[in-house]
Amino acid sequence: MNKESVLIVEDEEKILRLLELELEIEGYQVGKAMDGKEALEAYQSRKWDLILLDVMLPGISGIELLRKIRTKNNFTPVILLTAKGSVEDKVSGLDLGANDYITKPFQIEELLARIRAVLRMRPAAPSMEAEIGGWLNTADLKVNVKTREVIRGDSHIELTPKEYDLLLYLLKNKRQVLSRDQILGAVWGYDFQGETNVVDVYIRYVRKKLEYGFETPLIHTVRGVGYVMKDAK
């Protein structure tokens, strides 16, 4: 039995109770909240391994709650529970850093599989160096995993949440060649249903912000495989 903790944020009582029972049967520690304000308090009260977040909530919406979470925490996985056809919510959630989404009504077996997949792919804990100073670096690039600051040389670089997620994943795995599928799974989540070239598009976005005006490229293309982050050494 696993001891991982899941916070369920859902305003429909029957769905909330069903999810609570199923997750407890699977061995998860479960917390629950029925509106955005209650969810924010529950989120701040302890560390959670995963959050199941309904988009349509009274008070603070699920998308706004996700935005608040991601301004302070880039590591806790979030799976959105979305209404059928709510494409805008799915896109907004993924752009804000949701790891995955599932559309209502859903099969509980599929949701449990997605939870397991997201937990397997969650970001590794920061290294001891990062825990002490908050910084990860390569060459003249520094990323603060606590404040989300990105600095190259003397320049502060502004990234969107998804661009930051991509950069952080490359940096945590620097000098390792990562396939597009690996990047897609880690940054966009299990069974992403967007454009298949999304990795290449976002690599271009990050390269433009990270490398324009600098002599040394940091993100390198490995033809036929994917990408690797390394300095010139």
Q: CATH assignment of 5-120, given 3.30.420.40, 3.40.50.2300, 3.20.20.220, 3.60.21.10?
A: 3.40.50.2300
Average pLDDT for residues 184-202, to the nearest whole number? Answer: 77
Write down the pTM of the prediction: 0.57
With b for 16 or more beta-carbon neighbours within 10 A and e for fewer, the 180-189 pattern comes to bebbbbbbbb
DSSP sequence for 150-162: EEETTEE----HH
Q: Round to whole Å and give the CA distance between 14 and 123.
A: 32
Flag whether pLDDT at 233 surpasses 90. Answer: no
DSSP sequence for 72-116: H-SSS-EEEEE-TT-HHHHHHHHHTT--EEEESS--HHHHHHHHH
Query: Strand order in 29-33's β-sheet?
Result: 29-33, 5-9, 50-54, 78-82, 100-103
Spatial neighbors of 14 by CB under 8 A, at least 6 apart, are none
Radius of gyration of the chain (CA): 18
CA 159 to chain CA centroid, Å, is 15
Q: What is the CATH number of domain 128-229?
A: 1.10.10.10
- Mark residue 158 as left, alpha or beta (left: phi above 0; alpha: psi -120 to 50; beta: remaining): beta
Q: What is the pLDDT of residue 129?
A: 46
Contact 69, 45 (CB under 8 A): no
Mean pLDDT of the chain: 85
Contact 99, 77 (CB under 8 A): yes
Banded model confidence at residue 6, pLDDT cuts 50, 70, 90: very high
Flag whether pLDDT at 131 surpasses 50. Answer: no
Q: What is the pLDDT of residue 137?
A: 85
Contact 190, 114 (CB under 8 A): yes
In the chain, where the domains are located: 5-120, 128-229
Across-strand partners of 50? 6
Q: Round to whole Å and give the CA distance between 61 and 55.
A: 6
Q: Round to whole Å and give the CA distance between 168 and 186.
A: 11
Side-chain-facing half-sphere of 159: CA atoms under 13 Å: 31
Q: Using alpha carbons, select from 150, 122, 146 the residue that is nearest to residue 132.
A: 146
Least confident of 97-106, 151-160, 168-177, 188-197: 188-197
